Chain A
């Protein structure tokens, strides 16, 4: 099999592959920068928390409109926003740190969701229905992801400076501006939007994975936040592309394939990365003159 057959032909022959690639590109552009900030703010596990936090919203959407993905997604978004914003407010106004605050709210939300689903009696795994698959990109879903990516990039550009300052020296920002709290809450809102839309389009593994893993990879190659974001985006794109090819040539399911490639890149970075990689640590080379 030629390189062309292996790497390019699948995308030329099958439309679902082209659409999957488009989805990966959109997800990488939006998710990777967000993942970098999540990692820097020590919120890497927020994706899993959010996947459960959206349950009551999806449940209410289901109760009102049945298996209507739009209703369930909207409900999920509302639940996600509520949890994220409440957690953000509590951690800012009280002494409770972000992770504990988020944990309490998402658990409460999950319990509420499970109760609602049980009371109704149906046992459909709502979350399973809600979580999509990258190979099933229809026009509407692609549009949502693309709009998502655009909005995310624009908003991130706007809140970039206050977000950075708030992450490194929050006290300083509080003394010079009132932008800190709104920037933080807007960031949380972006996280929720990206996660919920990501779940709905691509499933939890991909949505969260393409946020967090590229950020982890980037950490081993750059010391500067701009560099981190660029490398994260590139890593996500590479993982997405390679993962899709892998899923096409072998029997690996697509989502896990992409994440496995990303994990492989991560391991390689841990070993060979120029910033803190193990090989560098073991064999630093001769010291410099000054």
Chain B
């Protein structure tokens, strides 16, 4: 499979050789903002990255526009998350008729389960993010052989930053008393974070933004918060937060602010890059849960 894909990429490269050299930069399309951030960090100024789902967008329920098909058709490389995150993507790829190479950033990640399906939010663990970056680096090197060393250096530097970030998160979590390492959140997007760093995320709603809770579910959450003395409740930046606030009020838990999970926020927001996002999240957690 790998060999076949490499051959395909080579073929695509040869076919697309002229535009590549005419423009100078590799055209890459990422499915959403977090992946785009990774690509920028590895590709530097040798790549021209577009993100299909923009800042503050919801990648689960994105509905592609005709413009997106065109963007993909013009690209040399498409970076997707996989693990079932982008249900809308296969048809888009097909209808765009693009000859771009496709790389699944989560390849090699040990997937967790969410209900009966895979949990797609693998990037929440920084170690997984490093796997993503490695996959992206390899794909970029294949797509643009001329800049191999450039990509490798960037990736090395960025991976070092991610290592430091990982250590930072672990240190911060260590400062939280063990019995307080649990929070309520609306979005079941932190499974990987939970597994990697040991903070339990309890959610009243399902993964997507579509499901509606029963009164029994809400009562159960409230009972659990009271019983387990869960200290904090967190909101999410893309859905209605009133239910979470209600739970916080009725249980006396702290309202911890917003955690960012599925998208970056753009320049002016609190989470303009992946590293900033993770830092923001862990700071929000420690300030709500700290001793």
Contact = CB atoms under 8 A, between A and B. Distances in A.
Complex: A in contact with B (CB within 8 Å): yes
Interface of A: 10, 13-17, 19-20, 67, 69, 118, 121-125, 128-133, 135-138, 141, 203, 244, 247-257
B218 A135 contact: yes
Contact of A123 (B62, B218, B240): B62
Given A248-B215, A249-B216, A129 B239 contact: yes
Contacts of B210: 128
A244 B215 contact: yes
Contacts of B240: 69, 128-133, 136
Given A133-B242, A248-B219, A123 B58 contact: yes
Interface of B: 53-58, 61-63, 65, 209-219, 222, 238-240, 242-243, 245-247, 249-250
**Most chain B beta carbons < 10 A, residue from A10, A14, A17, A123:** A123
B205 to A, nearest CB: 10
B57 A123 contact: yes
Contacts of A121: 54
List of 10 A-B pairs having minimum Cβ-Cβ separation, nearest first = A136-B243, A247-B215, A136-B242, A253-B212, A248-B215, A247-B214, A136-B246, A123-B57, A251-B214, A123-B62
Given A14-B218, A19-B246, A123-B57, 10 more contacts: A13-B219, A121-B54, A123-B54, A123-B63, A128-B210, A130-B240, A132-B242, A133-B212, A133-B243, A254-B215
Contact of B217 (A203, A251, A256): A251
Contact of B219 (A14, A253, A255): A14
A250 B220 CA distance: 12
B10 to A, nearest CB: 35
A203 B212 CA distance: 10
26 contacts: A10-B215, A14-B218, A14-B250, A16-B215, A19-B246, A67-B238, A122-B55, A122-B56, A123-B53, A123-B61, A123-B63, A128-B210, A130-B240, A132-B242, A133-B240, A135-B213, A136-B240, A136-B242, A137-B246, A247-B214, A247-B216, A248-B214, A248-B219, A250-B216, A253-B212, A257-B214
Contact of B65 (A118, A247, A249): A118
Given A132-B242, A136-B245, A141-B242, A16 B222 contact: yes
